[in-house]
């Protein structure tokens, strides 16, 4: 599943080879015309069907699910660690699907914070995929007791391309973009920035040390996704996180 996937430039990519991936260009070496289209449609159909099943499982258990995406190192796990503590203190029962190609480093960092954690290593039987797909998340959900949860946070594999293209069955998508990554990323990765409803602009504590132009970045986000909400945060200091907790728990407290 999820072996071929679509890139922003319309080419396709094969990731069934020791995690490295192989560029297939327009796939003309494999198939042509309607045959090619049907292969790709089948892959996305299969993912989308599994995503619907995941969402139904969340809904049946009254769980709100959020897909958290970013490039590697933007601060997803740091943010999650802080978030899990706050959720625990406010009585929100949280679970995490922790997606990484290899290692349990992040899952270990999130242990002991009151949340159920289900680790998914895509290098472990999933071909080293650069993203989570819905069937993988379905597998991870078998290790969570959804009936005992209010919220599931999915930490996707760090990547600004692949995760945007796979619906994992979450209700909402959010990305962390740190100011060390530069202002141009919304323009370079528009599919990702278009796929989300909230951008957490992270590492704002580093602003005095960088030449990052916050207004330029915000303008670039708005250019590719005018509806996107943005929040300046520091997962390190906790600055700006009140807005994040409000966004995260709104659907739960509104019930
Ligand atoms: N200065 C600063 N560093 C941060 C912040 N958030 C994360 N980091 C650091 O960035 C690095 C990568 O963070 P991590 O949470 O592992 O990112 P992930 O790969 O997206 O999960 C770590 O060294 C964190 O301590 C922040 O808000 N400010
Ligand atoms: Mg991480």
Give yes or no for residue 77 CB within 6 A of ligand 1.
yes
- Indicate yes or no: pTM above 0.85: yes
The pLDDT tens digits for 59-105 are: 999 999 999 999 999 999 999 999 999 999 999 999 999 999 999 99
- Those residues whose beta carbon sits under 5 angstroms from the ion ligand 2 are 76-77, 106
* Nearest bound ligand to the CA of residue 78: 1
Give yes or no for residue 95 CB within 6 A of ligand 1.
no
* Nearest bound ligand to the CA of residue 75: 1
Give the model's pLDDT for residue 126.
Answer: 86
Structure confidence at residue 24 as a pLDDT band (50, 70, 90)? very low
| 154's tokens | 């999915």
Q: How far is CA 90 from the centre of its chain?
A: 24
The pLDDT tens digits for 198-232 are: 999 999 999 999 999 999 999 999 999 999 999 99
Give yes or no for residue 158 CB within 6 A of ligand 1.
yes
Q: Considering only CA atoms, which residue is closest to atom 2 of ligand 1?
A: 203
Give yes or no for residue 202 CB within 6 A of ligand 1.
yes
Q: Walk me through the domains of the chain, giving residue ranges and CATH numbers.
A: 4-253 (3.40.50.300)
Q: Are the CB atoms for 161 and 191 separated by under 8 Å? A: yes
Q: If we measure between CA atoms, which residue out of 37, 78, 81 comes closest to residue 176? A: 78
Q: Which of 68, 72, 78 to mutate for ligand 1's pocket (most ligand atoms within 8 Å of CB)?
A: 78
Give the model's pLDDT for residue 116.
Answer: 98
Kindly state the average pLDDT of the residues 17-33. Answer: 47
| 60's tokens | 């049946």
Which residues have CB under 8 Å from 246's CB, separation 6+? Answer: none
Give yes or no for residue 191 CB within 6 A of ligand 1.
no
């Amino acid at each position: 599943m999820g072996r071929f996937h679509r890139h922003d430039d319309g080419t396709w990519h094969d990731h069934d080879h020791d995690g490295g991936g192989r560029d297939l260009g327009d796939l003309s070496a494999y198939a042509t015309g309607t045959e090619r289209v049907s292969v790709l449609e089948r892959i996305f159909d299969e993912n989308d069907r599994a995503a619907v099943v995941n969402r139904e499982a969340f809904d049946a258990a009254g769980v709100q699910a959020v897909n958290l995406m970013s490039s590697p190192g933007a601060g997803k796990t740091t943010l999650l660690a802080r978030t899990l503590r706050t959720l625990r203190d406010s009585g929100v029962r949280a679970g995490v699907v922790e997606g990484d190609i290899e290692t349990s480093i992040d899952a270990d960092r999130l242990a002991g914070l009151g949340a159920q954690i289900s680790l998914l290593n895509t290098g472990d039987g999933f071909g080293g995929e650069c993203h989570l797909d819905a069937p993988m998340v379905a597998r991870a959900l078998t290790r969570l007791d959804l009936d005992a949860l209010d919220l599931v946070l999915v930490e996707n594999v760090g990547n600004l391309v692949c995760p945007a293209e796979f619906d994992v069955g979450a209700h909402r998508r959010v990305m962390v973009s740190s100011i060390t990554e530069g202002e141009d990323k919304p323009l370079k990765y528009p599919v990702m920035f278009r796929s989300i409803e909230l951008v957490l602009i992270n590492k704002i504590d580093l602003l005095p040390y960088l030449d990052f132009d916050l207004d330029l970045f915000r303008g670039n986000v708005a250019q590719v996704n005018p509806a996107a909400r943005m929040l300046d945060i520091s997962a390190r200091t906790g600055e700006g996180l009140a807005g994040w907790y409000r966004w995260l728990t709104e659907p739960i407290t509104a019930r």
